[in-house]
Amino acid sequence: MNALSWDDRVHNYFQKNRVLVTGGAGFLGSHLCERLLERGSVVICLDNFFTGSRTNVAHLMQNPDFEVIRHDVVDPIRLEVDQIYNLACPASPVHYQHDPIKTLQTSVWGGLNMLELALQNGARILQASTSEVYGDPSVHPQPESYWGHVNPIGLRSCYDEGKRCAETLFFDYHRRKGADIRIVRIFNTYGPRMHPNDGRVVSNFIVQALRGQDLTVFGDGTQTRSFCYVDDLISAMVAVMNHEHQGEPEPFNIGNPEEHTMLDLAEMVIRLTNSSSRISFLPLPSDDPRQRRPDISAVGTKVGWKPVVDVESGLRRSIEYFRTIV
Ligand code: NAD
Ligand code: UDP
């Protein structure tokens, strides 16, 4: 309940950091809202509930410093805020390919609307970009200076090119209009509150193992990814948002450089869940990147962040969560 006195409300309005989190009811957004409230901010969670849900933020609803707005970032909105984290966008290939035109609109028009909102308020804005801007990389591991190897007309392009275009918009708003921008390129992140039907590999494997079903490895399973635990990722996002850079802004890779093949991952999940599941092989989706590992030296040197949760510990915590819901 909002049982604050008038004085408390006025204090919160003028003294506390007012933060907008778009996509705040999603997997990462809900963890971010929680962390920002713990840090003493007033948090507005904005979401159209395409892949997010009220359940993800239900435990925050009683906090008088938290509110939820149902809104689509494709439409402009007026709010008074000091910082904006722009996370609104489906992240799982299954979901972003469901309506690819809408996915592009969300990244591009959504990015534009949030940049305009940031300018109206003089607010700092952080864009949740992605390792997908590197496509199927020919440089390994990927530093921020790598321009990528992206198919512009494939099934993943609505997401990859949408996010690339959003980065372009952010930098042009900075150069032309003085927008105070931050960009993080997020590599595969996992943890509690991923949707069990999300379609991403970690949630798929854990749910399949807990249900005693075959783990579905796409292709021959030799493709690699690097998996970051959600708590580490949220620490990085907050650190980058509040980092005062020297000179021009720059995008930062965020992820855990520990790299695994999908076969390794499947075997690890079977072992950690004590499951009797086996592995079955399904066709590799088109344009599926062969390898992914972030070079995180820039964020380490300049922002002072590095991940602290190794993959096995993070998987154990995630398995505990999925045991409670499947
Ligand atoms: P998610 O699908 O759980 O969350 C996305 C949220 O955005 C959902 O709550 C969804 O309902 C909301 N949303 C989607 N379209 C919207 C719109 N038009 N208007 C308002 N809200 C909208 O995904 P996530 O894993 O939490 O990802 C969050 C952000 O981080 C995304 O921008 C994603 O591209 C980025 N990212 C995530 C990962 C990862 O591994 N989780 C990796 C790279 C980038
Ligand atoms: N993948 C898999 N089985 C699944 C889901 C995904 O083998 O049930 C593979 C997928 O082909 C890709 C990797 O796991 O090579 C990571 O897929 P995800 O969708 O999680 O993330 P992204 O491809 O966007 O990095």
Q: Evaluate whether residue 135 is within a structural domain.
A: yes
Please give the mean pLDDT across all residues of the chain.
96
186 in a structural domain: yes
Q: Which ligand is nearest to the CA of 225?
A: 2
Do the domain assignments include residue 89?
A: yes
Contacts of 199 (CB under 8 A, 6+ apart): 92, 93, 94, 95
Considering 96, 134, 159, 229, which one is annotated as catalytic?
159
DSSP at 25: T
In a domain? residue 69: yes
For the chain, what is the domain count? 1
**Could you tell me if 91 and 156 are in contact, meaning their C-beta atoms sit under 8 angstroms apart?**
no
Asked whether residue 119 is domain-assigned, the answer is: yes
The band of 1, judged by pLDDT with boundaries at 50, 70 and 90, is: very low
Report the C-alpha dihedral over residues 33, 93, 108, 49, rounded to 10 degrees: -40
Q: How many CB atoms lie within 10 A of CB 12?
A: 16
Beta bridge mates, 160: none
For the segment 149-201, what is each residue's pLDDT rounded down to a tens digit? 999 999 999 999 999 999 999 999 999 999 999 999 999 999 999 999 989 99
Question: For residue range 24-76, what is the model confidence (pLDDT) as tens digits?
Answer: 999 999 999 999 999 999 999 999 999 999 999 999 999 999 999 999 999 99
Q: Is 321 a catalytic residue?
A: no
Distance CA 46, CA 68 (A): 6
Global confidence as pTM: 0.95
Distance 240 CA to ligand 2 centre (A): 27
Whether residue 317 is contained in a domain is answered as no
Q: What pLDDT sits at residue 2?
A: 52
- Residue 189's domain comprises 11-193+228-256+294-308
pLDDT at 4 over 90: no
Taking residue 182's Cβ as centre, other Cβ atoms within 10 Å add up to 24
Q: For ligand 2, pick from 201, 202, 205, 318 the residue to mutate: most ligand atoms within 8 Å of CB.
A: 201
What token pair was written down for 304? Answer: 């002072």
SS3 264: helix
In this structure, is residue 283 part of a structural domain? no
Structure tokens at 158: 């609505």
Q: What does the block give as tokens for 190?
A: 């996992």
Q: At a CB cut-off of 8 Å and minimum separation 6, what does 277 contact?
A: 208, 209, 212, 213, 214, 215, 270
The predicted-structure confidence for 206-254, as pLDDT tens digits, reads as follows 999 999 999 999 999 999 999 999 999 999 999 999 999 989 999 999 9
Q: Is residue 300 part of a domain?
A: yes
Q: Is 33 exposed, middle or buried (0-12, 13-18, 19+ CB in 10 A)?
A: buried
For residue 7, name the pLDDT band (cuts at 50, 70, 90): confident
Question: What was the pLDDT predicted at 315?
Answer: 98
- In percent, the amount of the chain with pLDDT more than 90 equals 94
Q: What is the CATH number of the domain that holds 20?
A: 3.40.50.720
Distance CA 280, CA 277 (A): 10
> Which residues have CB under 6 Å of ligand 1?
22-23, 25-29, 47-52, 72-74, 87-91, 106, 110, 128, 130, 186, 188-189
Q: What is the pLDDT of residue 16?
A: 84
Tokens 């890779």, located at residue: 253
Strand ranges inside 101-214, DSSP E: 124-130, 180-186, 189-190
* Angle formed at CA 278 by CA 274 and CA 282, multiple of 5 degrees: 135
Query: Would you state the pLDDT for residue 11?
Result: 67
Q: Please write the tens of the pLDDT for every residue from 75-120.
A: 999 999 999 999 999 999 999 999 999 999 999 999 999 999 999 9
Nearest to 184 by CA among 196, 169, 167: 167
